Amino acid sequence: QVQLVESGGGLVQAGDSLRLACAASGRTVSSRPVGWFRQAPGKEREFVAAISGSGGNTKYAGSVKGRFTISRDNAKNTVYLQMISLKPEDTAVYYCASQNPSYGSNWYGYPDKYDYWGQGTQVTVSS
C-alpha cells in the first residue's frame, strides 16, 4: 500500500507562485511514476504533469508547459510541482497519484492507470 499526502495549496493572486508537495508513505514510490492531476468545479479531472521513477522523464499538459515543473526527491519519497505565473484558470483541487509501473510514459495522462491517489490540495488563483 502507498499513502500519498499533498500539501502546499492555498489562495494566491494571478502571477504568483506555489510549490505543491506529494509525500509518500508506506511502500516506496521511488520506482513508480507519479503524476499530478487537477479538477476544477464542474469539470473532469485533467492531467497536469508526470515524472518517471528515476526523475529522468517528465511530461506536461500543454496548458502548463513552461510554467509548471515537476521534480522528485526519492530520498525523501516526495514529488514536487513548482507552479509559477499562476492564472485564475489554474484554480482547482490538485491531486498526486502513483502510476502502476506496468504502464509506461505513453500512459501518463490516463488517470485510470494510477492506482494510488492522495486526497488533494486546493489551489485558488484570484484575478
Per-residue pLDDT for 104 more than 90?
A: no
More confident residue, 28 or 95: 95
Per-residue pLDDT for 58 more than 80?
A: yes
Q: Residues of the chain with pLDDT > 70: what percent?
A: 100
Query: Taking residues 84-97, what's their average pLDDT?
Result: 98
Per-residue pLDDT for 71 more than 90?
A: yes
* Distance in angstroms (rounded) separating the CA atoms of residues 68 and 63: 9
pLDDT band (50, 70, 90) for residue 91: very high
